[in-house]
Amino acid sequence: MDAKLDEITLLNLLRQRDEMAFTQLVEQYHSSLVRLAHIYVQDTTIAEEMAQETWLAVLHGLDRFEGRSSLKTWIFTILTNKAKTRSQRENRTLSYTDLEESVEAERAVDPKRFKDPSADKNPGHWAAPPDSWSSIPEDRFLSEETMNLIRETIDGLPENQRLVITLHDRDELSAQEICNILGISETNQRVLLHRARAQVRHALEDYLQAEF
Amino acid sequence: MENEMTCKELVELVTEYLEGTLPEDARRRMENHLLGCDGCTNYLEQMRQTIRLMGQLREENLTSEQRDDLLRLFHDWKKN
């Protein structure tokens, strides 16, 4: 396939009802949209429907889109707005404040891995420091098993952490874009990302421990 | 006189550090700490690897059914 078209070119082509432009967008973002929808709703069919409804809204909204955000952010925002409306209707309102509290209590690393505050020498320093991963071969990292472990760990995270880490580290959106899409503060975004990443790292560390 | 940063404190600042949002002063203290601490250097490196790997999670390709549904949706819109 040809090199990917940039957003402005894509947008212009799309407005001229160009099928290739639509296909490219769909190839780029549909799976991400379904995955994102799936965080809000359990049912795969409904998640798929929500992504389809998003595309319909994108097509119908093209002429009104003013380019104040990127096309990508706009598309993702349409989806999350739909998802929020739906989960409110189903009485499954995401409560950011509830989650923020539980998140605050968590630490990135188990406190037991650090020396006690009352220790004579170096309190707060590693008692059980992490190993270097530099001797682990690349194909071990990229193996299906490792990738599945990462996927499962992300899937097991609290909903809001899952949303943030998925958008940030899988879909590679910026913090600012994520704040706009999810309607959360920058601080909250960062706390959620921090906790989520810490747990994925921890799962990987446990899993790769067998290497040493 | 600056307090020395502990490992326990450092791990909580890693995201801000990697996102480039850590204030200058804290960043300097963190880098000083890293110079003399293998444990934290490894931690940071593990975190970088973790982030890199998450970016490599393979995207599922669209199924032909998905593609057909979306193209149908597109053609319906185009007709109107």
- Give the CATH number for residue B47: 1.10.10
Minimal C-alpha gap between B21 and chain A (Å) = 10
Residue B26 lies in a domain: yes
A126 bridge partner residues = A114
pLDDT, tens digit, 9 for 90 and up, residues A116-131 = 988 888 889 999 999 9
Which B positions 43-62 lie with beta carbon below 8 A of chain A?
A: 43, 45-47, 49-51, 53-62
Integer distance in angstroms from the first to the last C-alpha of chain A? 43
Quick one: what percent of chain B has pLDDT higher than 90? 85
pTM exceeds 0.80 for this model:
yes
Among B36, B39, B1, A206, residue whose Cα is nearest residue B14: B39
Minimal C-alpha gap between B27 and chain A (Å) = 16
| DSSP-derived 3-state class of residue A152 | helix
Is residue A33 a contact partner of residue A79, using CB atoms and an 8 Å limit? yes
pLDDT, tens digit, 9 for 90 and up, residues A12-32 = 999 999 999 999 999 999 999
Please tell me which of the candidates A26, A111, A141 has its beta carbon nearest to residue B49: A141
The answer to whether the Cβ–Cβ distance between B54 and A31 falls below 8 Å is no
* Confidence label for A48 from pLDDT (cuts 50, 70 and 90): very high
Sign of CA dihedral A35, A41, A42, A48: negative
Minimal C-alpha gap between A172 and chain B (Å) = 8
Range of the domain at B51: 7-79
Residue A212: predicted pLDDT: 54
Residue B68 lies in a domain: yes
Residue A6: predicted pLDDT: 86
What mean pLDDT is predicted for residues A73-83? 94
Please tell me which of the candidates A107, A124, A194 has its beta carbon nearest to residue B15: A194
* φ, ψ dihedrals at A137, nearest 5°: -65, 150
pLDDT, tens digit, 9 for 90 and up, residues B36-53 = 999 999 999 999 999 999
Average pLDDT over all residues of chain A: 89
Among A82, A58, A55, A31, residue whose Cα is nearest residue B72: A55
Residue B72 lies in a domain: yes
Q: Which residue has the tokens 């990917």?
A: A4
Residue A126 DSSP symbol: B
* Confidence label for A1 from pLDDT (cuts 50, 70 and 90): very low
Lowest mean pLDDT among A38-42, A136-140, B35-39, B51-55: A38-42
A114 bridge partner residues = A126
Residue B42 lies in a domain: yes
Does the structure's ipTM exceed the value 0.95?
A: no
Minimal C-alpha gap between B51 and chain A (Å) = 6
Residue B39: which residues within 8 A CB-CB, separation 6 or more? Answer: A125, A126, A129, A130, B7
Residue A86: predicted pLDDT: 85
Minimal-distance CA residue of chain B relative to A20? B71
What mean pLDDT is predicted for residues B53-77? 91
What mean pLDDT is predicted for residues A156-172? 94
Which residues in B lie closer than 8 A to residue A170 (C-beta atoms)?
A: 54-55, 57
Which residues in B lie closer than 8 A to residue A146 (C-beta atoms)?
A: 53
Q: Side-chain half-sphere of B62: how many Cα atoms within 13 Å?
A: 23
Domains of chain A are: 7-89 (1.10.1740.10), 96-211 (1.10.10.10)
What mean pLDDT is predicted for residues A165-192? 94
CA dist A204 and B18 (Å) reads 19
Residue A88: predicted pLDDT: 78
Minimal-distance CA residue of chain B relative to A141? B53
Residue B2 lies in a domain: no
Domain count, chain B: 1
| DSSP-derived 3-state class of residue A28 | helix
Give the angle A22-A24-A30 at the CA atoms, nearest 5°. 85
The tokens for A212 are: 């040493």
* Confidence label for A4 from pLDDT (cuts 50, 70 and 90): low
Residue B1: predicted pLDDT: 38
CA dist A86 and A73 (Å) reads 20
Residue A211: predicted pLDDT: 56
Residue B37: predicted pLDDT: 97
